[in-house]
Structure 1
Amino acid sequence: MGDRVAASLSRMFEEERLVFWYDADRDMRETFETLTLGGVEKVEIDNNEFGLKYRILRQEPDQKFLIYKHGPEPKMQDNWLLDVQLATSVFKADQAAIWVQELDIPTQHDAAVRDHMEFYRSQKRLDRLKQFETDKPSAGVSEIRRKMLAVCVGADGDLDTVVEALLEDLSQGKDAHLRLIERSGLTEFLWKQIANAYGYQADSPDFEDFAIALFQSAYHRALGDAGQLNAEALLTFRRWKNSRHNGEAFEALSGRYQDILKIPEDLNGRDARTVVAIDHFEEIDRHLIRSLVTAMSEQTVSSVEVLNWVRERRQSHWYPRYEHIYQAIAYATEFQQALSTANLSMSSATDGLKRYVGNWYKLDQFYRKFIYHMQASAQPSLLSSLYESIENRYSNSFVLKVNDLWQDQIAGLSEWQFSGYERQQDFYLNQAAEYRRRDQKVVVIISDALRYEVAEECLREIRKLNRFDADLKPMISALPSYTQLGMASLLPNKSLEILEKSGEVSSFDQSTVGTANRAKILAKGRDGDHTKALKAEDFMNMKGAEGKELFRDNHVVYIYHNRIDAVGDKLQTEDRLPEAAENAVADLIKMVQKLTSANFSNIMITADHGFLYQHRPLDESSFSVAEPAGEEVLVKNRRFVVGRGLKEAAGLKIWKADQLGLAGDLDVSIPNSVNRLRVKGSGSRFVHGGACLQEIVVPVLRVGKQREADVSKVDVQIVVAGKSLISSGQTAVMLYQVQPVSEKQHARQLTAGIYASDEELISDLHDVTFDFNSENAREREMPLKFLLSRAADEYNNQDVFLKLKEQIGKTSHSEEIASHRFQLKRGIKTDFDF
């Protein structure tokens, strides 16, 4: 006690020469007598008032005096030192007075201590309140009490942070902070503050009742309807909901209240368009998804509108939970749009090839991506009707139709080659060896079953990498389009021949099966070349130095990668083909990056064949009605037969070995179009070996590394129509993405808010993603509305700033990307008073 009294008096004497001390309870004499204060004389009032006054005022006018009375302060009419006392300070030595002194608050505000003594019985709470006072001294009792509320709940100071902390407690079923507020005598003050700030009125206020009203009002105000609480409540709700730290609390309360507030029933009567920008309840996303799926299945909504909806939902709190469903919807929309605009006709075989590699491959890609995201969503029931629609249209209106037309074009061919398109058998001589003729080293990645459309996705992902570029060209696979022949065709080759009993392929009269045999054939490419063939996993397991040695010691390297075929070519896993394709792209990106780190600068990616894939199990009409027959049927696959003296039959085309550029006297029979042959125990959804466009158009992807950085982010501008004036509680602006997103112009994620000149945020904060890829400038505009907070009233008639900020990496810091100055000039302040 003595130390605290000494510290409190010392602070008072920094400002005063005279300090009075009335020991009303007559229990502080010992403390007074033992007290030592440097430069301060201690005197006692004991029927000596006139003598003290003369000494203090005349004899020692510069000396500091502590004037003590052992007893209560006399009444004013009996206080002979009243005139002196009124000109200086009175020290109160009770516990409350000591706390007032410690906090360095004016004595006229001591009700903030005396009415809430329980609060101050914790040194930790007292120290936190002292820190608040040091940072920003309070102007009145109410401001001190607001800080006490913040200390009680562990918040940062303002009422909205107190509400956020109590919402966190509510979500976890805790009430310790509310009980502390009650013990501290702050409950009535809390409800008065909430009533003034948010318009909450209740005969018996309850925090859960307030929380329900907060969710309900935020929902109705977002819809443009009246709410029980005011606009400030909506702003507080938005800030709390959008904070990464409050996600679990928001989800818990939202899930609890959506049934109490009968949100599912309310949504049933609303057009999905009215809630597309609202994410207060998870049920909104489910309502939107059901509405989108129905509209798309019935084709009553435009693709532009669907994509805009999906894009807007990316800002939704629940988007990560439904991301795969929204992605599936987006790809289904892209598929429907592409199919509706596709001209599915061809005047010749080369015309058909040109159309496929120009645009038609995208339909395969959109379908595959749709199936992947549908599977990954783990909620296929929500997409069931859309899936049926996409599956039927893909199978019947695209794959079957196009390949029936393609069959018409190749039915009369006498030789398997097409003008203007490289043959797979010539790959090494015409493409890989091209680098060797320039005395450059080259690495070739052969990814089993890397269909053209999967390679195109890989192309775009590689181009997104800084300093990487790539180009893609088609090549026509050998026929039949199966692994053994495709792999052999990509090597230096001579006298390619399908062997009778196994379907294996020989070249230079040597087997081409397995990495070791292919390494021997690769060495025959060019005299003096050092070559290496290895599996992708072996390369990826190499240490950095080993990769550099691989480059140093070899001129030509072939790397064999098998992700797609390994999954798709098994009955038990063929339905996971879309996932395997996603993983293949990721593999190839990592491999390309590791190869460039190992000094390889000339990288080629190609495939042995493509594939046909339909997710739904095939019906009887998809199987060829003819059963292959002839002198000998040596090899039978879902999509081809190898034999000797094979007979012509309806639905089958017979090719002689020499027509296919092969040695030997064997025949190859290929089912027409997409038809499969019946083969016991093998899958039928993922197939290859035939002559369909999806099977025989294979990619040649060339990758190079640039010297200069070539990746940047799109620019974003703030567009304001009319005067830069804010005259109401909300304002609307337009944000404009200057360039469309591309491989080298990447998307940008920003936060947008209105700030005062001292960096105080005075509006709600929007997280916005700029990833528009449209060439149409109007389709790269983003309208935003900002709701001003109570804090904005303090900056009326001042300049404020709309700022776009971007997070710096994964840090807590951000940098300003764009800013626009506004004048805040509002005639009437907001409807709350502190």
Structure 2
Amino acid sequence: MSSLSAVLPHLEQGFDSQRLVFWHDADGEYAAELDALDLSGVTTVRVENNEYAVKNRVLHDEPVSKFLLYRGAPVPPGTGNWLLDLELAYGVFTADRTALVSQDLGLSGSGIDQVVRDHEKFFRAAKRVQSLKVLLATDDDADRLQAKMSAVVLGQREHSMLELMRALLIENARGAHAKYDALAEQSLDGFHWAGVAKIYGYEASEPSVDDFVLWMFRQAINGFASDTPGALRNIQLDFASLRNDRRSANALAVLARRAAESLDYANTIEDAALAELVGNDLFEDVERKIISVLTQAIVERTMGAREVSEIIRSRQSSIWVDGYRELYAALAAASDLLSELATARFEIASFDDGLDRYRKHWFRIDQLYRQFHFAARTTEYAGPLEALRVEVEKHYANRYLYELGNAWQQQVDAVTDWRTVALRSQTRFFTDHVEPIIRKGNRKAVVIISDALRYEVADELGSRIRQEDRFDAELDAMLGVLPSYTQLGMAALLPHKTLAHSHDGDPVLVDGQRSDGTANRNKVLAPVDGFAIQAEDVLAMPRSELRELYGAHQVLYLYHDRIDAAGDKARTERQVFEAANDALRELVDLIKRLTNANATNILVTADHGFLYQDTALADASYLSTKPQGDGLVVTNRRYVLVRGLKDDPAFRKFEPEQLGLSSDLEVQIPKSIHRLKLPGAGSRFVHGGAALQEVVVPVLTVNKKRKSDTRPVNVEVLPETDKITTGQLVVKLFQSEPVGEKVQARTLRAGLYVGETLISNQPELLFDQPSDDKRDRYQSARMLLSQDANEFNNRTVEFRLEEQIPNTTQWRVYQRAQYLLKRSFTSDFDF
């Protein structure tokens, strides 16, 4: 006999909201136990051919009392049931398990009971049922119930086909199948694949997640084309969502790699033209093919630098780009470098002209060379760059360094004294740059000296600083001292009247005092209330301690050493460009820390620059002769300090007074870019000579403003119609200004909405065009309507551009435009 204990809670629940509960028990299963039923405040009445009396009692005699009206036999249908009107008004309770579950779920739609019967195992788990009830709505039908049951099994909060498929695909990408097995165990796999067929158009005799993945990517390869227009629109939209959503992007990338191999996609695009590939980011093979084609085009000079730049820029929105950013950066740098060298003419009219041309134009070649090698070394996929590396080296080392070095040497040979009107001298750094700041006594100055911070590296540093909000940086140049090496360059930057080599060359004396080391430099700086400290000590300081240090002195000299530390050792000299990148990052951090400690006047400079080429030097790059003199004091790869010097045409000789030095040591510099061959020394990275790369020394003046001065670029929506009459809408967008250091790139998401209901795809668009030409700053958003859009015909639709709120997953509306959705449906989802 059945127990009333399972029924009682449902009966009590019924009386919570109404006073009459009709219980149909056609087989009289609970008739014998009925009298034992204990419902507080409720009168139990058996309906046994006494319908009229019962009706009169509950409606007229006791109109506010609660009654359980039990019918223990089959109820006459239709008008034969005298209580039908009341049962329709109050509903009917039945105690069979299916009905109890349906009632517990709060669902009464067609097919609900059948779903419950078919999935008895699912509903035996109270925890599952409780999770399901959280998702249910009272108007859910049988399909929505099964979809939400599937969501519970898969551990999802949403029950759309997109979200169910997302969960299965993420699991499949991991090589697991527990969730799908759970779906099958609950007999929901058949419902799932029927839904996939109906919504996406995927049908198979033996459907599986693996098979669906291959089918999905095949459709994507074919552009989701179908004999029935729009038949694959839903999978097209959801495929885009799966790839672009952070939750599933990595999984889709794994599946794409797997599908590409299964479909032999790389072979199918072997002969594809670049134009066919540029807008395609379906598979990683496309990225590699584009890189291969670009590399060949750059090497063979069949594509201009502008076109290369545009293709690379367009690939920045590819889902694969994160693995290829460095490689694209290498391609861009190589393309620009070879383009610059193709038109460059290294003709120098005078000493001043050479300095001016280098700091305004030619430094860019050294910068591009560094950027190419840094990017090429940091990419994990460097294979395609080998031919390009050979081409870059051939033109940079064999042409640029050689031709510029020889042309500049002619001007070096022609000067009597090492000075110019084109640039201030490094020896006047304190007088010309620091003293004007501190002269009145109420302003402080901070000087950062980064060893071997070449002019071109400082130019990039200035650009990075200007990209920071409220920061400005202005680059100037000085003529560095000769020889261009650390001890002399560091001494020249200190306040002084005289510079001199000591008897053995080093240390260099500043007004007769030693200038090597932090302690000695502090002695030199003491008269101007200055203090010297290593940059790494400042980087490690708490903010309060740094503020105290800054407040205690009129002038701070910070010594930073990354580039020279790597370049001056034979075993690490090839890491000098990585060191330059580290230096850039550290210097930006250092400057931010200083401004946070209230520093407002910051100067970044260097002791010298450097020459560098990545390939091993040919024998012709070394002097075959050796320096001669009565007393060789210092012999370096790029300079010699000597007494009683013997002239040699391979060297440029300077007397100390020609260089502004107060000592008896003469200086010899190997001409052009030549080195002296010394045992154990590196040869790629050198300094000490008179090459432009060595002696054009940067002075970067950094200031922080009070008001914000960076902002995202402006974007405008330019509607070309006010109606949507087909299954797609192309919206023209305009980036109203070029992107630059203070006007920054902007990523926006487009979508079509009715209220808050999305009825289209959501493409993300990157606005990062630096071109001044307006024609380059247009792009279009191709909006594809989903089948849900059918419900909103003849309604106003809103096109939105949204941007992500920083440091959140939320989006806000940036721009809007209104359209009228007015479609005839004569060719549903037409293209």
Give the TM-score range, shorter chain: over 0.9
Give secondary structure in 2 for the equivalent of 1:523: helix
Residue 411 of structure 1 aligns to a residue in which SS? helix
In structure 2, what is the Cα distance between the partners aligned to 1:678 and 1:113? 89
The question of whether the paired residues in 2 share the 8 Å contact of 1:150 and 1:159 is answered with no
Distance 1:138 1:311 in 2: 50
CA contact (8 A) 1:459 1:471 kept: yes
Whichever residue aligns with residue 542 of structure 1, its letter is: M
Q: Which of 460, 464, 469 is residue 467 of structure 2 equivalent to?
A: 464
Do 1:630 and 1:643's aligned partners in 2 also have CA atoms closer than 8 Å? yes
Q: Distance in 1 between matches of 2:586 and 2:822?
A: 57
Compute the displacement of 1:40 (Å).
4.8
**Alignment match, 1:356:** 358
The match for 2:482 among 474, 479, 483 is 479
Q: What is the aligned partner in structure 2 of residue 453 from structure 1?
A: 456
Tell me how far 1:52 sits from its aligned partner: 4.2
Q: Distance in 1 between matches of 2:549 and 2:63?
A: 95
Residue 761 (1) aligns with residue 758 (2): yes
Distance 1:490 1:679 in 2: 29
Partner SS state of residue 108, structure 1: coil
Report what 1:221 is aligned to: 223
The 3 A distance-change label for structure 1 pair 694 and 825 is same
In structure 2, what is the equivalent of residue 627 of structure 1? 626
Query: Residue type of the partner of 2:312?
Result: V
> Partner residue of 2:431?
429
Cα offset for 1:310?
1.7
Matched, 1:420 2:417: no
CA distance in 2: counterparts of 1:686 and 1:225, whole angstroms: 65
Instruction: Indicate the residue corresponding to 1:814 in structure 2.
Output: 811
Give a deviation string over 1:783-830, Cα, whole Å, max 9, x none: 221222232222222222222222222122222211122222222299
Residues 27-176 of structure 1 mapped to structure 2, 5 A cutoff: 27-29=29-31, 32-37=34-39, 40-46=42-48, 48=50, 51-52=53-54, 55=57, 65-71=67-73, 73=74, 76=77, 81=82, 87-88=88-89, 89-106=91-108, 108-109=110-111, 110-134=113-137, 137-138=138-139, 140-155=141-156, 156-176=158-178
Cα offset for 1:78? 12
What does residue 826 of structure 1 align with?
823
Aligned to 2:615: 616
Aligned to 1:704: 703
Structure 2 CA distance for aligned equivalents of residues 27 and 829 of structure 1: 58
Contact 1:793 1:829 in 2 (8 A): no
Mark the CA change 1:809 to 1:86 in structure 2 (over 3 Å): closer, same or farther.
closer
48-57 vs 734-743, greater mean Cα deviation: 48-57
Report the TM-score when normalising by structure 2.
Answer: 0.93
- Structure 2: any 5+ residue segments left out of the alignment? none
Q: Deviations over 1:467-523 (max 9, x none)?
A: 222211110000111111111111123432223434432222222221212222233
Counterpart for residue 321 of structure 1: 323
SS at 2:807's partner residue? coil
Stretch moving more, 27-36 or 431-440 = 27-36
Residue 47 of structure 1: how far off its partner (Å): 5.0
Provide the rounded CA distance (Å) in 1 between the counterparts of 2:124 and 2:41. Answer: 33
Counterparts in 2 of 1:587 and 1:30: CA distance versus 1, 3 Å: farther
Gap runs ≥5 in structure 1: none
Please show how residues 192-591 of structure 1 align to structure 2 within 5 Å.
192-221=194-223, 230-439=232-441, 440-524=443-527, 529-591=528-590
Q: Is the 8 A contact 2:423 2:479 kept in 1?
A: yes
User: 1:255 deviation in Å?
Assistant: 2.2
- Give distance in 2, aligned partners of 1:347 and 1:654: 22
Mark the CA change 1:514 to 1:733 in structure 2 (over 3 Å): closer, same or farther: same
2:635 aligns with: 636
- Which whole-Å CA distance do the structure 2 matches of 1:67 and 1:160 have between them? 46
Deviations 1:328-357 (A, max 9, x none): 112222323333454432221211111111
1:451 maps to amino acid: R
- Partners in 2 of 1:61 and 1:613 — Cα distance? 101
Letter in 1 for 2:694: E
AA of the residue aligned to 1:115: D
CA contact (8 A) 2:229 2:827 kept: no
Using the TM superposition, give the Cα deviation of residue 752 of structure 1 relative to its aligned residue in structure 2, in angstroms. Answer: 2.2
Would you say the 8 A contact 1:623–1:678 is kept in 2? yes
Q: 1:60 to 1:718 in 2, by over 3 A?
A: same
- Alpha-carbon distance in 1 for matches of 2:469, 2:132: 51
Separation of aligned partners in 2, 1:551 and 1:471 = 23
Distance 1:225 1:573, change over 3 A: farther
Distance in 2, matches of 1:222 and 1:619, equals 57
Deviation at 1:20, TM superposition (A): 3.5
SS at 1:497 equivalent: strand
Q: Considering only aligned residues, what root-mean-square deviation do their CA atoms show, in Å? A: 2.7
Q: SS at 1:595's partner residue? A: helix
* Distance in 1 separating the partners of 2:771 and 2:224: 29
**Separation (CA, whole Å) in 1 of partners of 2:368 and 2:39:** 84
Alignment check: 8 A CA contact 1:264 1:283 kept:
yes
Change (3 A) 1:46 1:651: same
Separation in 2, partners of 1:551, 1:411: 45
**Does the aligned pair in 2 maintain the 1:218–1:227 contact within 8 Å?**
no
How many residues get paired? 823
Query: Equivalent residues in 2 for 1:692-731 (5 A)?
Result: 692-721=691-720, 723-731=721-729
How many angstroms does 1:225 deviate by?
A: 12
- 2:187 aligns with 185
Shift of 1:262: 0.8
Number of the residue aligned with 1:796: 793
Deviation at 1:303, TM superposition (A): 1.9
- Structure 1 341/717 Cα, relative in aligned 2: closer, same or farther at 3 Å? farther
SS in 2 for 1:353: helix
Shift of the 657–95 alpha-carbon distance from structure 1 to 2, 3 Å rule, reads: same
Secondary structure of the 2:701 match is strand
**Residues 739 and 497 (structure 1), Cα distance of their counterparts in 2 relative to 1, 3 Å cut:** same
Calculate percent identity across the aligned residue pairs: 37
Over 3 Å counting, the alpha-carbon distance change for 1:225 and 1:270 in structure 2 is: farther
Structure 2 vs 1, CA of residues 100 and 224 (structure 1 numbering), >3 Å: closer, same or farther?
Answer: closer
For 2:658 and 2:300, how far apart are their aligned partners in 1? 48
The one-character-per-residue Cα deviations of 1:718-761 (angstroms, maximum 9, x if unpaired) are 2222x12222222222222222222222222322222221x122
Structure 1 53/813 Cα, relative in aligned 2: closer, same or farther at 3 Å?
closer
Retained in 2: the 8 A contact 1:748–1:770? Answer: yes
Secondary structure of the residue aligned to 2:210 is: helix
Q: CA deviation at 1:708?
A: 2.3
Equivalent position amino acid for 2:495 in 1:
P
| Paired residues of 1:502 and 1:635 also in contact (CA < 8 A) | yes
User: Could you say what secondary structure the match of 2:504 adopts?
Assistant: coil
**Aligned pair in 2 of structure 1 residues 319, 704: CA closer, same or farther (>3 Å)?**
same
Q: 1:647 to 1:307 in 2, by over 3 A?
A: same
What CA distance in whole angstroms lies between the structure 2 residues aligned with 1:115 and 1:170? 27
Q: Which amino acid aligns with 2:794?
A: N
Task: Report the TM-score when normalising by structure 1.
Answer: 0.93
1:298-325 CA distance string (max 9 Å, x none)? 1112222222222222222221122211
CA distance in 2 between partners of 1:14 and 1:829 (Å): 52
Residue 297 of structure 1: how far off its partner (Å) = 1.1
Take 2:218 and 2:664, find their aligned partners in 1: how far apart are those partners?
79
CA distance in 2, matches of 1:2, 1:323: 70
Amino acid at match of 1:820: A
